[in-house]
Amino acid sequence: MNLDSFTEKLNTEKIKYRKNEIMKSHTTFKIGGKADVFVMPENKNELKILLNSAKENDVPFFIIGKGSNLLVSDNGIEGAVISLSKFDKISLSENTIKCGAGVKLSSLCSFALKNSLAGLEFAYGIPGSVGGALFMNAGAYGGEISQVVSGAYCIDFDGNEVFLKREDMNLSYRNSVFKNSNLIISEVVFELETSNSSEIKAKMQEYIEKRKAKQPLEYPSAGSTFKRPVGNFAGTLIEKNGLKGELSGGAMVSDKHAGFIINYDNATANDVLNLMDKVQKTVLSNDNVLLEPEVIFVGRR
């Protein structure tokens, strides 16, 4: 890895970056050590330059949106973290919304409401970016991104632009083709339906009130810690095993919703990992169900 040569290229191209950026500032968990280099490209051209320079200099990189589903190592992230926060444009053509990957999901929902377009109500209140939501096929209350997405513009690791239709994305429960490919989502296209704005707003309000009542939104977290096991619910199994309120350092199984591990008191990534491990082993031992993490761990071990 030749990090100096990589940053020299960024300087030459006038691409802004920061060294030793503390990642806890960029995740909803508020946990994480330093990234060697943190870059926010302004457009596709800058992203292509970054990818090319990373390849030439053997610099590993990680793409981040709003950091809502991430647990970043206390030891930080080697190489470059590329944030797509500046990919934040939204446009409308009839019932079709074209949206930058870095747009907040809540902002997309509000844009749809403003234009009396229905279909995204379930997503209101889900933290994170549009790109991250497609990457994970995010969902709630019976809705999923797979139900409303029609296509996505991507850039592969070699800088080539690619367009995928929904049928090419292999969308399933919290999964997509993007998880195991060299494709970076840059823009997402949604096909929605015209509806009554007051009805859309009422649904959005209903869902956000449910979240406030049932989820520990007052504490930093990465959302649901584990995927829903077939025929059951992670939170139900965790609560059944008496793990609500369980602590590991500053991490805690929420006493409001056992499906969430929260940053209760300046938790470290190791605190969270240890608690996740205990939960998995307990549920596996008592219920013969292996809970699969929904949270993605990234960084140095």
Q: What is the pLDDT of residues 98-136, one digit of tens each?
A: 999 999 999 999 999 999 999 999 999 999 999 999 999
Q: CATH code at 169?
A: 3.30.465.10
CA distance 22 to 73: 11
Of 83, 108, 132, which residue is a domain's last?
83
Mean residue pLDDT of the chain comes to 97
> Are 168 and 126 in the same domain?
yes
> Are 201 and 283 in the same domain?
no
CA distance 40 to 85: 7
Q: CATH code at 278?
A: 3.90.78.10
> Are 171 and 110 in the same domain?
yes
> Are 99 and 200 in the same domain?
yes
> Are 146 and 117 in the same domain?
yes
Query: Which residue reads 């949206």 in tokens?
Result: 99
Of 162, 179, 213, which residue is a domain's last?
213
CA distance 103 to 184: 15
**Percentage of residues in the chain with pLDDT exceeding 70?**
100
pTM, two decimal places: 0.93
H helix or E strand, kind and range, residue 83? strand 77-83
> Are 72 and 182 in the same domain?
no
Q: Could you list the residue range(s) of the whole structural domain that residue 47 is in?
A: 3-83
Q: How confident is the model at residue 237 (pLDDT cuts 50, 70, 90)?
A: very high
Q: Is the separation of the CB atoms in 37 and 81 below 8 Å?
A: yes
Q: Render the burial of 228-255: b for 16+ CB within 10 Å, e for the rest.
A: bbeeeebbebbbebebbebebebbbbbe
Q: What is the pLDDT of residues 64-76, one digit of tens each?
A: 999 999 999 999 9
Mean pLDDT within 174-182: 94
Q: Total structural domains in the chain?
A: 3
Of 213, 239, 269, which residue is a domain's last?
213
- Report CA 220 to chain centroid distance, whole Å: 14
> Are 141 and 224 in the same domain?
no
Mean pLDDT within 258-276: 98
pLDDT of residue 287: 97
**Residue numbers annotated as active site:** 174, 224, 294
> Are 75 and 188 in the same domain?
no
Mean pLDDT within 207-217: 94
pLDDT of residue 301: 87
CA distance 5 to 85: 25
